């Protein structure tokens, strides 16, 4: 608290200087009005050898955006599993028909299609909250962002109008944009206009995680590695390929029941991809 020492309660220049000095000494720095205490600086060299590496520009910008989202969005993550046994068998069959140099079909492409079908059924997932928080902006296009790991950090190229493209078209486009991302050649407009993002760790592993919403989007789907599990069918345990899914959403726009219903539809679409024809 600032103590005014001037006549008639006036705040003097010295009062302001003292307040700043005391604030810095306490390690309290206001960030975006949040008043969050900063983490004190530590001289790690006193404990042993160190090496200092500058963060890449992508990592710095990503960190700033994630911090802003974390402070402003009340986020909930819903975890579930989808049975992709038949989908995987179909994917393998499709790839067996392709020539050696053809771009192969990945499970991610079916996830994109399943996600968009669910977004059409639940429009609030294809929306953004207005800046004043008074209304939601419903989008009539379906652009999906795909988080891509690159040597310089995480980037999110956007696949546009995925509802009107075939699996093979999406495979080619995703391969091209992923290659550009890893070479650092993505243009700014190729990373804009997303409606919902997919962050997949399937090629690495894991069983679950809590992805952070890529605002101004209102949801993000996390995917980890599928594995065979015994599933009870009412009479016996049978081996099924189960895919862990993690849906994080902005609770200001989407409530828990709607999030669970949305995930149920995504699971249905992945478990029986014939539903995508309906």
CA 130 to chain centre: 20
What angle do the packed helices 107-121 and 256-271 form, to 10 degrees? 130
Q: Which residue in 15, 80, 149, 251 is the catalytic one?
A: 251
Whole-angstrom CA distances from 76 to 3, 113, 126, 235 are 42, 23, 17, 35
CA 216-221-227 angle, to 5 degrees, is 165
Q: Please indicate whether residue 250 is annotated as part of the active site.
A: no
The neighbour count for residue 259, using CB atoms within 10 Å, is 21
| Cα-based distances in Å from 94 to 90, 91, 240 | 6, 5, 20
102, 161, 255, 272: the active-site residue: 255
Reduced to 3 states (helix: H, G, I; strand: E, B; else coil), residue 24 is helix
255 is catalytic: yes
251 is catalytic: yes
Give 264's DSSP letter.
H
Q: What CA–CA distance (Å, rounded) separates 262 from 256?
A: 10
**Residue among 83, 195, 246, 250 flagged as catalytic:** 195
Give the Cα separation of 191 and 150 in Å (integer): 14
* Calpha distance 48→40 (Å, rounded): 19
User: How many angstroms separate the CA atoms of 140 and 161, rounded?
Assistant: 10
H helix runs in 97-236, sequence order? 107-121, 167-182
Cβ neighbors of 43 (< 8 A, separation 6 or more) are none
**What are the phi and psi torsion angles at 125 (to 5°)?**
-80, -15
Partners of 155 in beta bridges: 148
Residue numbers annotated as active site: 195, 251, 255
């Amino acid at each position: 608290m600032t103590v005014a020492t001037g006549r008639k309660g006036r705040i003097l220049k010295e009062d302001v200087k003292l307040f700043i000095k005391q604030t810095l000494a306490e390690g309290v720095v206001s960030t975006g009005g949040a008043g969050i205490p900063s983490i004190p600086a530590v001289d790690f060299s006193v404990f042993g050898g160190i090496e200092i590496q500058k963060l890449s520009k992508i990592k710095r910008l990503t960190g700033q955006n994630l911090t802003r989202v974390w402070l402003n969005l009340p986020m909930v993550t819903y975890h579930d599993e989808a049975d992709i046994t038949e989908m995987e068998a179909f994917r393998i069959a499709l790839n067996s028909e392709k020539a050696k140099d053809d771009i192969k079909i990945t499970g991610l492409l079916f996830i994109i299609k399943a996600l968009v079908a669910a977004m059409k059924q639940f429009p609030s997932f294809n929306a953004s909250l207005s800046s004043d928080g008074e209304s939601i902006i419903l989008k009539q296009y379906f652009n999906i962002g795909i988080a891509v790991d690159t040597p310089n950090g995480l980037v999110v190229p956007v696949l546009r109008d995925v509802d009107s493209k075939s699996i093979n078209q999406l495979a080619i486009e995703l391969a091209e944009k992923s290659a550009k991302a890893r070479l650092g050649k993505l243009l700014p407009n190729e990373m804009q206009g997303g409606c919902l993002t997919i962050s997949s760790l399937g090629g690495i592993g894991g069983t679950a995680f809590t992805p952070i919403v890529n605002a101004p989007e209102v949801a993000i789907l996390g995917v980890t590695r599928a594995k065979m599990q015994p599933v009870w069918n009412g009479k016996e345990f049978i081996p099924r390929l189960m895919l862990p899914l993690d849906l994080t959403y902005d609770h200001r726009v989407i409530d828990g029941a709607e999030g669970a219903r949305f995930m149920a539809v995504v699971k249905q679409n992945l478990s029986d991809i014939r539903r995508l024809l309906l």
